[in-house]
A and B are shown apart, each in its own frame.
Chain A
Amino acid sequence: MAGRVAGKVAFITGAARGQGRSHAIRLAQEGADIIAVDLTGQIGSVPYAMSTPDDLADTVKEVEALDRRIVATQADVRDYDAVKSALDDGVAQLGRLDIVSANAGIFSFGSLEELDETHWQDMIDVNLTGVWHAAKAAIPHLRAAGGGSIILTSSTAGLMAIPNIGHYTAAKHGVVGLMRTLALELAPDMIRVNSVHPTSVNTDMIQNAATYELFGADLPVEQRTKEVLGGRFQELNALPIPWVEPVDISNAVLWLASDESRYVTGVTLPIDAGSLIK
């Protein structure tokens, strides 16, 4: 049986690990070739360890193990020229572009009153401007292919306010505005644009001491275990689970990337265990 995105090529930012790697694997399982970029380095205002070149190499191995091709490049989504160059090079090697997953993102926290300028600026630069860069670089290639699907990674924080992550909330709300405008501007070219809105996802972005402090500031450090804090994460959701897995987001991305959703554009798709309806 042919894969659900067989013969297509997908561009994924933040593909070294977490959701980005999961998207690369899931799309490759269903027949897509992959163009992957990741910073594979640290940003000073981010309170957890970011991905490494080894992580990106592992993504390459996993996609190749599925007998699909992958072109992986170290690139910072804040640097438009670097993103464009990596994507152009990937398209030159793989022949076309059909799918874009603008996934790269960072997380940090602090009240809006106390947040410093660097935290604010890094967040907006990566989580909002970086998304626009990925889409902007991709549009000519999608148009050349006669259409395509752009999937922007927002968050439940793109549709509701969450205290102490105001800069993240602002950036992720901005992604929704970007998505809706792109959907209108690109519809005549049959390019669809949608956003996905995960609740907490079981990745390194939440399973770290800094995020545990956000959820368990009242607890001594030794009591901030995955089990204890899982209960607090679960309070965000309607379904009785603490967090979702990366593959759950990838399954939504796959559906939006495939021709099954050929007339779906402008959708804010939550994979949020009902967080938004509570």
Chain B
Amino acid sequence: MAGRVAGKVAFITGAGRGQGRSHAIRLAEEGADIIAVDICRDYDTVGYGMSTEADLAQTVKDVEALDRRIIVAQADVRDAAALKTAVDDGVAQLGHLDIVCANAGICTVQSWDEVTPAVWQDTLDTNLTGVWNTMVACAPHLIAAGGGSIICTSSTAGIKGLPFLAPYVAAKHGVVGIARTMANELAQHKIRVNTVHPTGVNTPMVEGLGGLNPLIERDPNLGPIFVNTLPVEAVEARDISNAVLFLASDEARYVTGLEFTVDAGNTIR
């Protein structure tokens, strides 16, 4: 049986580990070749470690073990020129581009009065401008391919005003705005643009959320905002990848402009 995205090429940011690696593997399992980037470098403002070159090398191994091709580059989504070079190189080697996962992101936890200008800027630059840079670098290739699917990773924080995550919430809401605008502007090229909105996912980023509980204890009224409706505390990276796969495949050929929650019902409470 042919894979559900057989013959397609996917560009994935933040592919060194976590959700990005999971997307690379899931799409490769269903027949796609991969162009992957990751920063592989820590941020001064983020309390947990970013992925490493070894992590990105592991993603390569995992995809190649599935007998798919993968082109990787170390690139920072905040650097539009570097990102464009990585995409252009990958497309030159793999022939075309069909799927884009704007996945790279950071997350810091603090109350509003602890948000430093540097934290604000790094979060907006990575989680919002990074998505924009990814779209701009990729859209010309999708137009050339005669259509495609762009999937931007937002969050339940792109729908709700989650406390203690102000810069993250601002960026993730912003992602919804640019996704909607691009869905309209790119529709004439048969390019679909959708967002996915995970609840908490079991990945290394969750280490960065360790500071939440003490903050919630200061105002317990805010605790229930983080609770899921289904009786699960967090979902797995693969659950998000399954949604990405659906949106990437031709099964979703007429789905665009969607905010796709994979959130165990977090946002309907």
Residues of A near any B CB (own CB < 8 A): 1, 180, 183-184, 187-188, 190, 192, 199, 237-241, 244, 248, 251-252, 254-255, 260-267, 269-274, 276-278
Contacts and interface: CB of A to CB of B under 8 A. Distances in A.
B242 A260 contact: yes
Contact of A240 (B1, B187, B230): B187
A262 B268 contact: no
Contact of B230 (A1, A237, A263): A263
Given A180-B268, A239-B190, A263-B263, A274 B239 contact: no
A274 B230 contact: no
B26 to A, nearest CB: 10
A272 B257 CA distance: 9
B184 A277 contact: yes
A263 B252 contact: no
Given A263-B230, A264-B243, A184 B188 contact: no
Given A1-B1, A265-B229, A269-B260, A238 B255 contact: no
A206 to B, nearest CB: 15
A248 B265 contact: no
B180 A252 contact: no
B231 A188 contact: yes
29 contacts: A184-B265, A184-B268, A188-B231, A238-B183, A240-B187, A248-B251, A248-B254, A252-B255, A254-B251, A261-B242, A261-B243, A262-B239, A263-B235, A263-B263, A264-B261, A264-B262, A266-B263, A266-B267, A267-B261, A269-B258, A269-B260, A270-B255, A271-B252, A271-B254, A272-B256, A274-B184, A274-B257, A277-B180, A277-B256
Contact of A238 (B184, B231, B269): B184
Interface of B: 1, 180, 183-184, 187-188, 190, 192, 199, 229-232, 235, 239, 242-243, 245-246, 251-258, 260-265, 267-269
- 7 pairs of A and B residues whose beta carbons are closest in the complex: A277-B257, A266-B268, A251-B251, A238-B187, A260-B242, A187-B229, A274-B256
A183 B254 contact: no
Contacts of B243: 260-261, 264
B179 to A, nearest CB: 9
Contacts of B246: 255, 260
Nearest to A191: B230
A183 B268 CA distance: 8
A277 B183 contact: yes
Given A192-B230, A265-B264, A276-B257, A184 B252 contact: no
By CB atoms of chain B within 10 A, which of A190, A248, A264, A278 has the most? A264
A255 B251 contact: yes
Contacts of B255: 252, 269-272
Contacts of A263: 199, 230, 232, 235, 239, 262-264
Given A180-B268, A264-B261, A267-B261, A273 B256 contact: yes
B256 A239 contact: yes
